[in-house]
Amino acid sequence: MTPADTPAPNRRAEIRRVIGLFGPHRAATITMLATVMVGVLLGLAPPFFLQVIIDQGLQKKDIGVIASYSILTIVITLAAAGVTLLYGYQSVVIGQKIMCEIRHRLFTHLQGMSLRFFTSTRTGDIQTRLISDVGGIQNVVSNTLVDAISNVAIVVSAIAAMFWMDWRLTLLAIALVPVFAVFGRWVGDFARDVRQGTQEQTAEINSMMQENLSVSGALLGKTIGRADVLANKFDLENQKLAHWQIKASVLQYVFFAMIRVITQIIPALIYWLAGFLLFRGDTSITVGMLVAFSALQTRMFFPLTGIMATQVELLSSLALFARIFEYLDMPHDIQDSPGARALPVGSVRGEVTFEGVGFKYDQASEDWTLQEVSLSARTGELVALVGPSGAGKTTLTYLIPRLYDVDAGRVLLDGTDIRDIAMEDLKRVVGMVTQETYLVHTTIAENLRIAKPEATDEELIEACRAAAIHDHIAGLPEGYETVVGERGYKLSGGEKQRLAIARAILKNPPILILDEATSALDTTSERLIQNSLNSLMQGRTTFAIAHRLSTIHAADQILVVDGGRIVERGRHTDLLAQGGLYAKLYNEQFLLEQQGAGS
């Protein structure tokens, strides 16, 4: 759906919501508006001083009048400039506070979204809304409100002063004002569509760059040898963005051309009417009055232009506000239930129970990822999950820390439905080492302290010794201050997984989830880490998704998952004796290992 096809927004409601952003800054906003009014009143004086200088000073050759009123004009002009600077500063401060609040609200709100949101939304689109969209509204929240109020006050006061001078000239001067309003409304509506189209296409470009210029994307492009295809696709989207930007530029030229026409025609008409009245013998029009009137007219036109620009800016920015509010209005599908209970530190035993659990990724689909899953893991038990790829093993473990919520049945922690436990407390008691290790672009120490920000250097070293990675880190030129690079690409897969294991050790949770945590390790490293994991798992409930079945011989119970169901359960020797799926998987892997050893 293109911007032109989208339904007409409730513009008044949107504008009220934008104005509502200033609510928490009411006192500062009122102070700023009072400063604006002082500046507006000061700005009215110079045209009247100019009339006196011409009519009473120059024409009557009174040097005293000329000197005194010239000094007054200079003083008032400097004072008005100072007041303008003051309320401009106040406006920017308020605007930046609002910008910080918007970015904070958007970031924290997105953090609270479930994993389902992130798996169905492209990173480039999220980045565009957080950076480009929020940046695009900065002028509105920092300048537009104060500009609008200031301009309206200047126009109203200027028109009042002009009426006081001569009502006939004033009526002619404001005759084309409605044209400003109509033209501004038309340009604003068109600018909104252009702004929305530009931002949507910018999101598309950002997504492509994020996907293709990341480390993984660059590797894909270089290894498949089809860089021309990716470049052609980028060129197509790039041309679409250029199309929207051309529209925006043409709109800008049309806008300023129309303003130039209006602001140059009206003064000519004013002088024509004044000359006509003078020729008819009207003595109320003096040279000084006409010059002062022209100054007030100019003072009115520039704010009128500003009002029109504000109208266009606000209407076009509503497209950006709508995109931001769309994200802020997304409900958190996983959140604390009313009256969610806290988990005091040290009170968790770690008993996990699944009762008839069902789950599906697509709520509209009839295909279940997990069905009728029931299990019970007692405190300190090692529960191994095995099965073919895509059977639902990882999804099952994701339900424990509520990365997803169940669609049927329930998951219990120490007899309490996890949906009745505070989310922050649940995150604290569950540790995960996932199959895809994620490291941020910072130092090794900072990556470890994600799990425990207050951890001492000694605690980091102890955790890394347990994960068999300390000796490698100590051998690096910068040790624990080594920057790991984008997504940790300066480290090998095994080194990244050992860091992830050290991070879990540092967190020290009562419930541990290992999703093929040793899959990227060689045999020697795996043995080292397996010994560390055995120590780590003592006294805590552990769910381990096994890559090598030889590592789970000692599991308290092995759950064989296939087609989203638990099809077998028991200990290693019992399952081998049954001759079912587990025995088949084990024998196939054992045979492959034997063949590999023989070769």
Instruction: Identify the pLDDT of residue 79.
Output: 92
Instruction: Identify the pLDDT of residue 418.
Output: 92
Confidence at 5, pLDDT banded by 50, 70, 90: very low
Q: What mean pLDDT comes out for the span 253-266?
A: 69
User: Per-residue pLDDT for 575 more than 80?
Assistant: yes
Tell me the pairing of strands 557-562 and 565-570.
antiparallel
Query: Residue 580: how many CB atoms within 10 A of its CB?
Result: 15
User: Per-residue pLDDT for 469 more than 50?
Assistant: yes
User: Per-residue pLDDT for 358 more than 90?
Assistant: yes
- For the stretch 83-90, contacts whose Cβ atoms lie closer than 8 Å and that sit 24 or more positions apart, written own/partner, are 83/35, 83/38, 83/39, 83/42, 84/39, 86/35, 87/32, 87/35, 87/36, 87/39, 87/146, 87/150, 88/146, 90/28, 90/31, 90/32, 90/35, 90/146
Instruction: Identify the pLDDT of residue 593.
Output: 58
Burial bucket for residue 444 (CB in 10 Å: 0-12, 13-18, 19+): buried
**Which residues are CB-contacts of 149 (< 8 A; sequence separation ≥ 6)?**
33, 36
- On average, the pLDDT of the chain sits at 79
> Which amino acid is present at 590?
F
What confidence tens digit (pLDDT) does each residue in 311-336 have? Answer: 667 777 777 888 888 888 888 888 88
Confidence at 2, pLDDT banded by 50, 70, 90: very low
DSSP track, 121-189: S-HHHHHIIIIIIHHHTHHIIIIIHHHHHHHHHHHHHHHHHHHHH-HHHHHHHTTTHHHHHHHHHHHHH
The three-class DSSP label of residue 540 is: coil
Q: What mean pLDDT comes out for the span 138-150?
A: 75
Nearest to 491 by CA among 521, 461, 462: 521
Q: What mean pLDDT comes out for the span 550-567?
A: 88
Which among 37-51, 432-446, 564-578 has the top mean pLDDT? 564-578
Instruction: Identify the pLDDT of residue 378.
Output: 92
Q: At what angle do helices 287-328 and 11-20 cross, to 10 degrees?
A: 90
Question: In the numeric block, which tokens belong to residue 20?
Answer: 């509502």
**Which residues are CB-contacts of 167 (< 8 A; sequence separation ≥ 6)?**
none
What percent of the chain clears pLDDT 90, i.e. is strictly above it?
Answer: 12
What confidence tens digit (pLDDT) does each residue in 378-410 have? Answer: 998 999 999 888 889 989 999 999 988 999 999
Instruction: Identify the pLDDT of residue 211.
Output: 61
What confidence tens digit (pLDDT) does each residue in 85-131 have? Answer: 898 888 888 888 888 888 888 888 888 887 888 877 777 777 778 77
Instruction: Identify the pLDDT of residue 1.
Output: 38
Task: Tell whether the torsion through CA atoms of 20, 22, 27 and 31 is positive or negative.
Answer: negative
Q: Which fold has domain 16-328?
A: ABC transporter transmembrane region fold (1.20.1560)
All CATH 3.40.50.300 domain ranges of the chain, comma separated, are: 352-598
User: Per-residue pLDDT for 519 more than 70?
Assistant: no
**Which residues are CB-contacts of 342 (< 8 A; sequence separation ≥ 6)?**
422, 425
Confidence at 376, pLDDT banded by 50, 70, 90: very high
For the question of whether the overall pTM of this predicted structure is more than 0.75, the answer is no
Nearest to 174 by CA among 361, 303, 27: 303
Distance between CA atoms of residues 204 and 201, nearest Å? 5
Instruction: Identify the pLDDT of residue 210.
Output: 61
Distance between CA atoms of residues 269 and 176, nearest Å? 11
Residue with the larger pLDDT of the pair 452 and 355: 355
Lowest mean pLDDT across 68-72, 134-138, 417-421:
134-138
User: Per-residue pLDDT for 29 more than 70?
Assistant: yes
Lowest mean pLDDT across 151-155, 266-270, 454-458:
266-270
User: Per-residue pLDDT for 356 more than 90?
Assistant: yes
Lowest mean pLDDT across 195-209, 341-355, 406-420, 429-443:
195-209
Instruction: Identify the pLDDT of residue 559.
Output: 94
User: Per-residue pLDDT for 522 more than 70?
Assistant: no
What percent of the chain clears pLDDT 70, i.e. is strictly above it?
Answer: 81
Distance between CA atoms of residues 512 and 544, nearest Å? 8
Confidence at 6, pLDDT banded by 50, 70, 90: very low
Confidence at 8, pLDDT banded by 50, 70, 90: very low
Instruction: Identify the pLDDT of residue 262.
Output: 67
Widest distance between CA atoms in the chain: 121
User: Per-residue pLDDT for 528 more than 70?
Assistant: no
Q: Which CATH superfamily is domain 352-598 in?
A: P-loop containing nucleotide triphosphate hydrolases (3.40.50.300)
Confidence at 521, pLDDT banded by 50, 70, 90: low
Distance between CA atoms of residues 136 and 157, nearest Å? 32
The position carrying tokens 């994020």 is 210
All CATH 1.20.1560.10 domain ranges of the chain, comma separated, are: 16-328
